[in-house]
Amino acid sequence: MHTLLIIDPQNDFCDPNGTLFVPGAGEDMQHLASFVRKARGALGEVVVTLDSHPSVAIERPTFWKRGDGLPVTAFTQITHAQVGAGEYAPIDSSLRPTVLTYLQTLEAQGRYKLMVWPVHCVIGAWGHNVHRAVLDAIGEWEFQVQRGAYKVLKGQNPLTEQYSAVRAEVPSVDDPRTQTNHQLIEKCRPTSGLLFVAGEAASHCVAATLDHLFEEFSDEEISRVVLLEDCMSPVTGFDTHAAAFQNRALAHGARTMSSARALTELFTN
């Protein structure tokens, strides 16, 4: 049997009315829903990650103000040096030391600098919900196998970013939700069948999750990973990030193919 990993198939990313809509994501979800329906008899596991945030968090405009007191707009990048110089500051001034330590640690890792995103995927809000087409298709699979998909919430800690479902960018020793999710890794580990991967966005959460999974998988297991290229899209302006991720995945030994081609692959393995 095979496994399907769906990363953040949520309204805020996949619906044109979403606060962080990814162009092409609506079509991606339709392709994905069709894939689930046609493949469901061969899927032994469906894993769904959900971006899950409070409304005020370190990567949101609601957390920040400029040095002159004006609001910070979405898609602003904030660095340790800028906060140190007073160009930006947390609205809650008591968090400034924590924020400076966080930014210093984040930047030292070399993966990301802090990006302020529009408020999105707030727990309990419409934007947090799974896109309807995918939700219905997963529901049909759940009815067929008589158990639920394995769902993982990520991003609940307001003082660290979490693109990857495996762990936060800067894990907190006091918050297990930010630390390495070993159960998720094992759910996704393709020891025999294939691991099909879909979701949003290819430039960020898909890339970050797969980068971390590849660190845990053997070369043989990575060769069983298939990225569904018509079931994921990049955030606007981050096409090069998605292309770089795809190149990394191919270099590791993973494969990319359309969902239609993957169906053929699924029923011949």
Quickly list DSSP for 7-27: E--BHHHHSTTSTT--TTHHH
pLDDT tens, 3-50? 999 999 999 999 999 999 999 999 999 999 999 999 988 999 999 999
| Residue 126 dihedral angles phi and psi, to the nearest 5° | -55, -40
Mean pLDDT across 242-269: 92
Average pLDDT of the chain, as a whole number: 97
Work out the percent of the chain whose per-residue pLDDT is above 90. Answer: 95
| Cis preceding-peptide flag for 42 (omega within 30 of 0) | no
pLDDT tens, 142-185? 999 999 999 999 999 999 999 999 999 999 999 999 999 999 99
Dihedral class, residue 237 (left if φ above 0, else alpha if ψ from -120 to 50, else beta): left
The edge-to-edge listing of strands for the beta sheet with 255-257 is 150-154, 43-51, 2-7, 195-199, 225-228, 255-257
Q: Report the residue count for the chain.
A: 269
Work out the percent of the chain whose per-residue pLDDT is above 70. Answer: 100
Q: Is the pLDDT of residue 269 over 70?
A: no
User: Per DSSP, what are the bridge partners of residue 3?
Assistant: 45, 195
CA 228 to chain centre: 15
Cα separation, 151 vs 143, in Å, equals: 16
What residue ranges define each of the domains in the chain, with the CATH number in brackets?
2-55+120-266 (3.40.50.850), 61-116 (no CATH)
Dihedral class, residue 121 (left if φ above 0, else alpha if ψ from -120 to 50, else beta): left
Residue 267: the pLDDT is: 77
Cα separation, 137 vs 151, in Å, equals: 15
